[in-house]
Structure 1
Amino acid sequence: MTAAVLLAGAGLTVAVPAANAEPSNYRFDYGNGPVEKGYSGVSATDAYSADKRYGFNTPGHMADVPAKGTGAGSDAVRFLEFGTKSTNTFNVDLKEGLYKITVTLGDTSRASIAAEGVFQVMNMTGNGATDSFEIPVTDGQLNLLVTEGKAGTAFTLSSMEIEKVSRQPEMDRTIWVGGDSTVANYYPLASSVQGGWGQLLPQFVDPEAFDVRNMATGGQIARGFRNDGQLEAILQYIKPGDLFLLEMGINDTAAKNATTEAEFKEIMRDMVRQVAATGATPVLVTPQGRATDFADGVHSSVDRWYRHSTVALAQEENVPLVDLNVLSSTYFTEIGPAATLALFMTGDTLHPNRNGAAELARIVADDLARQGLLRGSV
């Protein structure tokens, strides 16, 4: 809402925001310590009110806690009740539109961010971890909480920034990524020693063409990704023009997860079909092998991780396939065993370090571009 003001002596009328105009941008500093300059302080006891336009829905389930960071990160609030469907949320009234949300955790081992009843960011790790995501708001209010990433740990929030990106509540074309620890994000995002190719993929995709949302988590299997909330979040937002890259199989083959190859294939088929029904494009990706899968100087791991079923499923469902298993083997053979091992975590032949994740991301992006699925890859 605006009000017209006549400037004395100038004969000019300008529109200025009314006193009760609803803000589009916020910076919140959580906890009961000093409030960082430029932020609005929010303690665990601050209940939502329509006049203030923000606050906790159930402050009785919140607690103020210290944090080891500095500035806005020197204190936090802890969510004592959580879960993607929990009503123990921090609520902010927002006009319809698309918003960028940046969250910084307090002292938290591993936690996920949920909003609007679904996951938004998966498994942020370490004290003071920071990440951001875009979300459409269509009902006049953002409802957010920090929720379980690792059972038995504290789920805390130090600060949050909200920036309005567009008046239209429509997300840009997005590449959604599902997978396991070889795909997942590691924190700090810009400097982590370990990396997943989903984390590094934005470096090889034109940001004007696609956003990238990585929903992969360590230890994940196909059944868990489908049933435990990650696919649900993607299905809430995915749309025609989007891509869904799905890499599974490494953990599915472990005996402890009790997933036969036939079961794995049908769970993957179900996810492919659910995504295809939205008009988006599912893309199956096979996992790379181990760094040590060399014989006579040639790297090959084609018989690992239920790869044959993934390849067959892509053919049966007529969906694109990025055979990262074979593509990465070609690259590893070119650079040799020693250089290949240098792309993995020390003492670990499965999990890539940051450089290795970047090479895998490059290979994925190149193959997507080759298949005409990317525009403006860099």
Structure 2
Amino acid sequence: MKKWIAAGFVMMLMLCFGKIESIKAAEQKVYQFDFGSGSVEPDYIGVRASDRYNTSKGYGFQTPEHMKDVAASGTGVKSDAVQFLAYGTKSDNTFNVDLPNGLYEVKVTLGNTARASVAAEGVYQVINMTGDGAEDTFQIPVTDGQLNLLVTEGKAGTAFTLSALKIKKLSDQPVTNRTIYIGGDSTVCNYYPLNSSKQAGWGQMLPQFMSKNAFQVRNMASGGQFARGFRDDGQLEAILKYIKPGDYFILQLGINDTNPKNNETEAEFKEIMRDMVRQVKAKGAEAILSAPQGRATDFNAAGEHTALNRWYRASILALAKEEQTALIDLNVLSSSYFTSIGPEKTLALYMDGDTLHPNRAGAGELARIVAQELKKLGVNGF
């Protein structure tokens, strides 16, 4: 009888204080972690930088000696964070969570940071999250009973911090939903906050034109990226780890490849792009090439927008034909649209004082055009 009373008393304490010391007691569908030395939000598990992983509680930092508690400027879970002092996609300075095998949705909330990426299982998951308290979500299959995650370099010399994680189980099957992966540069990539940023890339806006039940979109594009960098610096690696038959990979590069500082000739660009296309096809997925749109000011004397000779477009078209790969000629398609609305309205779709980077409205129009072409190509869900 005394044992039952004692057990009941312990349970009452746990309910009253909302503190869960272990996630091992039973399989859960949602796990929430609040990082830092401040107060812990209701329904969250508090985690300090000094909390080392052990098998009894099922979560913690692999190497807490390389972690630090820091303040953050937000409220609630965003009021504090932990900083990763050691990082890199292959680093073992990870936050580990024991999870039953399956497919999970992970929501990441960063602390104060200029630009940081999220890695898990040794590859990038989210590229270049910017701004204090930035949030993003990704799917990840767990196949070895544990998630290993860290925040890593987006911009050298800045702090890489984590305020909160929400991990939700989607399926017992450790396979991602059908996915459209996107590779590209600053005209394609995500900007934060995702739902309200003034600047946007068309990859960020593409989900608005899709059925959520058909595909998820994983935008792995990043500002300043060129073909060799995308292939060799971890972004393609992340895609190849998960891409599978039934998935698509849309690849749009060329703008930064023409910049002399990247030391990449057009012939080299074409062969690197070919290599990426073939690696994706070897996984049983479909590759789609896209030719970048021109500048807002690419109007001729007749009032026609044309940018046919920009960004190695000729090599992109030739490669699509040689590799029998689907093509979205966003260059021509966007020019047709810009011609129809005229120079003034076209300029209004770009960032102020910037003729290259679309604003949110401009990115939305480019995404609409891409979605229309995907539908024409027979990709369902648009």
The TM-score with structure 1 as length reference comes to: 0.94
1:257 equivalent among 262, 266, 281? 262
Residues 162-197 of structure 1: CA distance to partner in whole angstroms, max 9, x if unpaired? 000111111111000000000000000000000000
Cα distance in 2 between the residues matched to 1:365 and 1:24: 33
| Residues 1:101 and 2:116 are matched in the alignment | no
Cα distance in 1 between the residues matched to 2:193 and 2:215: 22
Identity of aligned residues (%): 68
Q: Which structure dedicates a bigger proportion of its chain to helix?
A: 2
| Residues 1:118 and 2:155 are matched in the alignment | no
Report the counterpart of residue 27 of structure 2 in structure 1: 22
The 8 Å contact of residues 24 and 95 in structure 1, kept in 2 or not, is answered as: no
| Residues 1:299 and 2:305 are matched in the alignment | yes
Residues 211-242 of structure 1: CA distance to partner in whole angstroms, max 9, x if unpaired? 10000000000000000000000000000010
Cα distance in 2 between the residues matched to 1:222 and 1:189: 25
Report the counterpart of residue 341 of structure 2 in structure 1: 335
Cα distance in 1 between the residues matched to 2:247 and 2:38: 43
Cα distance in 2 between the residues matched to 1:59 and 1:20: 24
Cα distance in 2 between the residues matched to 1:255 and 1:88: 37
Give the C-alpha shift of residue 25 in structure 1: 1.8
Give the C-alpha shift of residue 22 in structure 1: 3.5
Give the C-alpha shift of residue 350 in structure 1: 0.3
Report the counterpart of residue 315 of structure 1 in structure 2: 321
Give the C-alpha shift of residue 23 in structure 1: 2.9
Q: Which structure dedicates a bigger proportion of its chain to strand?
A: 1
**DSSP 3-state at the match of 1:252:** helix
| Equivalent residues, number | 359
1:135 equivalent among 99, 115, 140? 140
Report the counterpart of residue 8 of structure 2 in structure 1: none
**DSSP 3-state at the match of 1:308:** helix
| Residues 1:279 and 2:284 are matched in the alignment | yes
**DSSP 3-state at the match of 1:294:** coil
1:345 alignment partner AA = M
The 8 Å contact of residues 64 and 77 in structure 1, kept in 2 or not, is answered as: yes
Aligned CA-pair RMSD:
0.9
Give the C-alpha shift of residue 342 in structure 1: 0.4
The TM-score with structure 2 as length reference comes to: 0.93
Give the C-alpha shift of residue 368 in structure 1: 0.9
Cα distance in 2 between the residues matched to 1:125 and 1:339: 29
The 8 Å contact of residues 290 and 328 in structure 2, kept in 1 or not, is answered as: yes
**DSSP 3-state at the match of 1:33:** coil
Query: Which runs of 5 or more residues in structure 1 are unaligned?
Result: 1-17
Cα 1:52/1:254, change in 2 over 3 Å: same
Give the C-alpha shift of residue 19 in structure 1: 8.2
**DSSP 3-state at the match of 2:192:** coil
Report the counterpart of residue 236 of structure 2 in structure 1: 231
Cα distance in 1 between the residues matched to 2:374 and 2:177: 18
1:183 alignment partner AA = V
Cα distance in 2 between the residues matched to 1:230 and 1:19: 34
2:40 equivalent among 13, 20, 35? 35
| Residues 1:375 and 2:380 are matched in the alignment | yes
| Residues 1:359 and 2:365 are matched in the alignment | yes
Cα distance in 2 between the residues matched to 1:156 and 1:300: 44
Cα distance in 2 between the residues matched to 1:253 and 1:213: 26
